Amino acid sequence: MATGNINVSVENIFPLIKKFLYSDHEIFLRELISNATDATLKLKHLTNIGEAKVEYGNPMIEIKVDKEAKQLHIIDQGLGMTADEVQKYINEVAFSGAEEFLEKYKDSAKDAGIIGHFGLGFYSAFMVADKVEIITKSYKDEPAAHWTCDGSTSYTLEAHDKAERGTEIILHINEEEESFLEDSKISELLTKYNKFMPIPIKFGTKTETLPKPEDAKEEDPAPTQEVDNIINNPSPAWTKQPADLKEEDYKGFYRELYPMQFEEPLFNIHLNVDYPFNLTGILYFPKLGQDMSIQKDKIQLYQNQVFVTDNVEGIVPEFLTMLRGVIDSPDIPLNVSRSYLQADGAVKKISSYITRKVADKLSSLFKNDREDFEKKWNDIKVVIEYGMLSEDKFFEKADKFALYPTVDDTYLTFEELQEKIKEQQTDKDNKLVVLYASNKDEQHAYIAAAKDKGYEVLLLDSPIVSHLIQKLETSKENVSFVRVDGDHIDNLIKKDEETISKLSDEEKEALKGDLEKVIPTTTYTVQLEAMDSTASPFMITQPEFMRRMKEMQQTGGGGMFGMGNMPEMYNLIVNTNHDLITQIKDATAEAEKERLIKQSLDLAKLSQNLLKGEELTDFIKRSFEMIK
C-alpha cells in the first residue's frame, strides 16, 4: 500500500474547494458524471482507433444511493485508471487529464465530446463528502487500484480485486449534506444536469408493464418486469442533423425540454456550425403575445450535452432571450464573469451568428409562406421589434419582413406601406405621414374620421411601439408617424381640404376670446380650423412628440431621464364651419354660451377617454338636465 501527500501548489486547497470553488454544492454530481462520461467516451475513441483492444459494448453509468451507509456511488464502465494514472491524474491536483488526452489525440479526438477542462472537477466531491474512495480498473491489463482520501492532503493507494473494467467513486456524504442521500434530490439533480448526456445513466429500476399473453383471462393483471431506470436521452434532437429531423421530432423535443408547457412552439431554428466556433442547438419561438417579461430564462446552455445554466445573458443577444430551447457550445468560457463574457471575441461571434440565423429563418418563413407568417405575426412581433431596436444588423434584415398591420387586418411591409400611402398621405413638406392607432376601441372616432378621408391607419399596439417608431423615423428618410389622435393629423387635414371658413377674421377673434374664457388654457391650446361641416366641432389632439416621450418613459426609454413630470398638454381643434360653433358664436346669454362650450369640451374629452372622476359626474348630471 502506498501513502503520500497530494501534490497541491496551494497549501490546504480542500477547505478552499469546499467553500469557494463552487457556491453551488450540488454541481459535484455533474462533475463526477462528466468524468464518468469522459472515461466512457475516451474508451470508445480508443477502441475506434484500435488502440484499446477490448469490447466497448453498451456501457452505462450507474448512480446508487446507500442511505444506511450514507454513501453515494457513481459507477462507470469507461477506460479506468491504473495505479500510476491515479497517482498522476488524481494526486496531482490541477492537472487536467482531459486536457492531456485532448492534447495527445489532438486531431483524432476533436469530435469525441470530452467534457473536462479545469482539473478541479473531481475534487468538488469534497464539498459534500468527508471521505472519497476511487476503485478503478483500467482497460489495460493491470490490477485495479483503490484510492482513499479523507479530505486532508494525505491519501492511501492500494491494490483492489475489482475485476470488471471501469471506475467506481464512493462518496461518504457528510452530515450537513445528507439531503444528497435522498432519492428525490438525486433524481432532481440528474434531471437538471444530466438529462441529455451522451452515455445512458441508470438510477434505480422501474416497473414496466408488459402486454398480456393471448390466453390471459379478463381479470388477470398485466404482467410486469423490473427494468433499468435510464434517466437521460443520450441523443437529443440538437445533436442530430437537421436533415434527419421532421417537424414532429422538433415538437417532441420541445415537450421533452418543457414537459409542463402545453402550448406548441410556433417554429424552430436549428443551429449547427463548427467553424470558426463550435455550436449546436435548437431555438423555438413560443407564442409570446404582448408580455415581454415573464418569458426570460428559458434557453438552456449546455456544453457537450452537460447542462450548465439557464441564464444565457451575454451569450444570446438580449432580444432573443425571450425564445426557448437549447444552445450547446464547448467554446463558451464559463469561469469568467458575465461582463467579461460580453467582451469575449468568440462569444461575440456566437451572438451574431445566432442573430443572423434567426433573421434568416424569419426571412425564409416570410418568403415561403407569407399567409402563415402573417398569422403568427402578433405572437412574434415583440421579439422582432425589440431586435430591430437593439441590433442594427437585425434591423437591416428584419426591415424586409417586419409587418405593419392596418386596422382592417391587412399586413404590409414597410415598403408596401410606403407605396400605398405615397399619393395621399404627405404633409406640407412632402413628408410621408404614417397614421396609426394603438387601440381600436379608444381611438374609434379618430380612426373612422381618418378612414373617411381614405387614409390608411395602422394598428400598432406592442408595448415598445413608440421606441420602434422613433427608430423608423430616424432610419428612414422623410417619414413621420402620427397617432390618429395626434396633432400632426391637422397638417394632413389642412393639406387636402381647401375649405373656406364661414367666419370672418373679426368673428374668429371674438370666438377665440369666448372659448378661452371657459377652456383652461394651461392645458389646452385652442386652434380654430375651417373643416368640412360634418367633421366634429371640437377635437382634442395631443402633441405627438409629447405623448411619445411619455410612453417611452413608461417602457424604459434610454436617456429619457428628467422628464418625469411633463405636464399634460393638448390641442383643442375647433371646426369653425360646424353649426354648433355658429350657435356658440351667436349665443347672447353668457350662461348659455358657457354651457355649450363646457358641454362640447366634455364631449371631446369623453371621446379621448379624458373625462374622469368629478368632471364625469358633473357632465352626466348636466346632460340629464339638458334632455329633461
User: How far apart (Å, rounded) are the C-alpha atoms in residues 454 and 438?
Assistant: 19
Site size toward Mg ion, by CB under 5 A = 3
Given a contact cutoff of 8 angstroms between Cβ atoms, the answer to whether 435 and 482 are in contact is yes
87 touching ligand ADP, by CB under 6 A: no
Stretch in the footprint of ligand ADP (CB under 6 A) among 73-81, 201-209, 332-340, 481-489: 73-81
Given a contact cutoff of 8 angstroms between Cβ atoms, the answer to whether 389 and 464 are in contact is yes
**Per DSSP, what are the bridge partners of residue 144?**
160
96 touching ligand ADP, by CB under 6 A: yes
198 touching ligand ADP, by CB under 6 A: no
CB of residue 370 vs ligand ADP: minimum separation in angstroms? 50
User: How far apart (Å, rounded) are the C-alpha atoms in residues 372 and 91?
Assistant: 61
Given a contact cutoff of 8 angstroms between Cβ atoms, the answer to whether 338 and 312 are in contact is no
Comparing CB distances to ligand ADP, the nearer of 59 and 281 is 59
121 touching Mg ion, by CB under 5 A: yes
CB of residue 277 vs ligand ADP: minimum separation in angstroms? 20
User: How far apart (Å, rounded) are the C-alpha atoms in residues 127 and 173?
Assistant: 9
CB of residue 80 vs ligand ADP: minimum separation in angstroms? 6
CB atoms within 10 A of CB 129: 25
Nearest to 265 by CA among 239, 295, 293, 235: 295
3-state secondary structure 486-549: ECCHHHHHHHHCCCCCCCCHHHHHHHHHHHHHHCCCCCEEEEEECCCCCCCCEEEEECHHHHHH
CB of residue 35 vs Mg ion: minimum separation in angstroms? 4
124 touching Mg ion, by CB under 5 A: no
Nearest to 41 by CA among 60, 69, 67: 60
Chain-centroid distance, C-alpha 485 = 34
- Residue with the shortest CB distance to Mg ion: 121
116 touching ligand ADP, by CB under 6 A: yes
What lies within 8 Å, CB to CB, of 121 at 6+ separation is 31, 32, 34, 35
CB of residue 38 vs ligand ADP: minimum separation in angstroms? 6
Q: What is the CA radius of gyration of the chain?
A: 36
Going from the C-alpha of 112 to that of each of 109, 190, 302, 345, the distances in angstroms are: 5, 22, 16, 25
354 touching ligand ADP, by CB under 6 A: no
117 touching ligand ADP, by CB under 6 A: yes
Stretch in the footprint of ligand ADP (CB under 6 A) among 115-123, 401-409, 511-519, 576-584: 115-123
Task: Kindly tell me which residue out of 13, 44, 91, 122 binds ligand ADP, with binding defined by CB under 6 A.
Answer: 122
- The option from ligand ADP, Mg ion, none interacting with 575 (CB < 5 to 8 A, set by class) reads none
Comparing CB distances to ligand ADP, the nearer of 59 and 286 is 59
Stretch in the footprint of ligand ADP (CB under 6 A) among 32-40, 473-481, 595-603, 616-624: 32-40
41 touching ligand ADP, by CB under 6 A: no
DSSP-assigned letter for residue 190: H
Nearest to 193 by CA among 298, 305, 279, 64: 305
- The option from ligand ADP, Mg ion, none interacting with 325 (CB < 5 to 8 A, set by class) reads none
User: How far apart (Å, rounded) are the C-alpha atoms in residues 195 and 328?
Assistant: 13
DSSP string, 192-234: HHHTT-SS-EEEEEEEEEPPPPTT--TTSPPPEEEEEEE---S
Comparing CB distances to ligand ADP, the nearer of 79 and 611 is 79
One character per residue 157-196, x = contact with ligand ADP (rule: CB under 6 A): ----------x-----------------------------
**Per DSSP, what are the bridge partners of residue 326?**
282, 300
Cell reading at 21: 470553488
User: How far apart (Å, rounded) are the C-alpha atoms in residues 360 and 135?
Assistant: 52
46 touching ligand ADP, by CB under 6 A: no
Chain-centroid distance, C-alpha 517 = 55
- The option from Mg ion, ligand ADP, none interacting with 113 (CB < 5 to 8 A, set by class) reads none
40 touching Mg ion, by CB under 5 A: no
Cell reading at 457: 391607419
The residue type at 23: S
CB of residue 26 vs ligand ADP: minimum separation in angstroms? 16
- The option from Mg ion, ligand ADP, none interacting with 89 (CB < 5 to 8 A, set by class) reads ligand ADP
Which residue matches cell numbers 423555438? 284
What lies within 8 Å, CB to CB, of 578 at 6+ separation is 531, 533, 535, 536, 537
Given a contact cutoff of 8 angstroms between Cβ atoms, the answer to whether 434 and 397 are in contact is no
CB of residue 69 vs Mg ion: minimum separation in angstroms? 25
76 touching ligand ADP, by CB under 6 A: yes
Comparing CB distances to ligand ADP, the nearer of 122 and 436 is 122
116 touching Mg ion, by CB under 5 A: yes
35 touching Mg ion, by CB under 5 A: yes
Give the footprint of Mg ion on residues 545-604 (CB under 5 A).
none
Comparing CB distances to ligand ADP, the nearer of 278 and 321 is 278
Task: Kindly tell me which residue out of 64, 119, 204, 501 binds ligand ADP, with binding defined by CB under 6 A.
Answer: 119
- The option from ligand ADP, Mg ion, none interacting with 487 (CB < 5 to 8 A, set by class) reads none
232 touching Mg ion, by CB under 5 A: no
36 touching ligand ADP, by CB under 6 A: yes
CB of residue 90 vs ligand ADP: minimum separation in angstroms? 6
Stretch in the footprint of Mg ion (CB under 5 A) among 30-38, 45-53, 308-316, 531-539: 30-38
Task: Kindly tell me which residue out of 78, 151, 265, 405 binds ligand ADP, with binding defined by CB under 6 A.
Answer: 78
Comparing CB distances to ligand ADP, the nearer of 95 and 277 is 95
Stretch in the footprint of ligand ADP (CB under 6 A) among 91-99, 220-228, 345-353, 598-606: 91-99
- Residue with the shortest CB distance to ligand ADP: 116
Q: Which helix (H) or strand (E) holds 434?
A: strand 432-437
CB of residue 54 vs ligand ADP: minimum separation in angstroms? 14
DSSP string, 455-477: --EEE--STTHHHHHHHHHHHST
82 touching ligand ADP, by CB under 6 A: no
97 touching Mg ion, by CB under 5 A: no
Point out which residues bind ligand ADP (CB under 6 A).
31, 35-36, 38-39, 76, 78-81, 89-90, 96-98, 116-122, 167
